[in-house]
Amino acid sequence: MTVSDLDAKSQAVLLLAQGASSDKAGEGVGVSGRTVRRWREDPAFEAEVKAAQRELLAEARAALGGAARDAIATLHAALQDPSTALRIRAAAVLLSALPAISEQFELEERLAALETALVESGRAA
């Protein structure tokens, strides 16, 4: 769906979710930035902006996930290259990513454990 297929408020939601300021979003939909700021005072409108931001982020994460798999495969293949310098560089890049990936995994596990504990404590209360 393109911005031109939507009404002004829906267009503004999409533009704001994409990072436009209220003034730029207003300019893009033919209203003033003040009007957009007034729309943003409405919790339902702001919830739409947040939902659109989450959707855009999910799309970006999916695209990055695919690109990351390709990048890892490329680096993995480079580990077999005849050039020692290229093999060392590929290995260094792969190894440098491990701490962040490990930390992310650990944080997700800890968050899941906290959510489980919250649910269980709610049932016990």
pLDDT tens-digit series, residues 10-67: 999 999 999 999 999 999 999 999 999 999 999 999 999 999 999 999 999 999 999 9
In the chain, the amino acid numbered 31 is V
Residue 113 lies in a domain: yes
SS3 113: helix
95 and 57, same structural domain? no
55 and 5, same structural domain? yes
For 13, counting Cβ atoms within 10 Å of its Cβ (0-12 exposed, 13-18 middle, 19+ buried), the class is: buried
d(CA 118, CA 122): 6
Residue 74 lies in a domain: no
Write down which residue in 39, 69, 99 finishes a domain.
69
Tally of residues, the chain: 125
40: which 2 tokens? Answer: 């943003």
Residue 91 lies in a domain: yes
56 in Cβ contact with 42 (< 8 Å): no
Q: Tell me which residue range forms the domain holding 2.
A: 1-69
pTM of the full structure? 0.60
Q: Does pLDDT of 5 surpass 50?
A: no
Task: Indicate the number of domains in the chain.
Answer: 2
Give the residue among 51, 37, 118 at the shortest CA–CA distance from 25: 37
Position 12 scores a pLDDT of: 96
112 and 84, same structural domain? yes
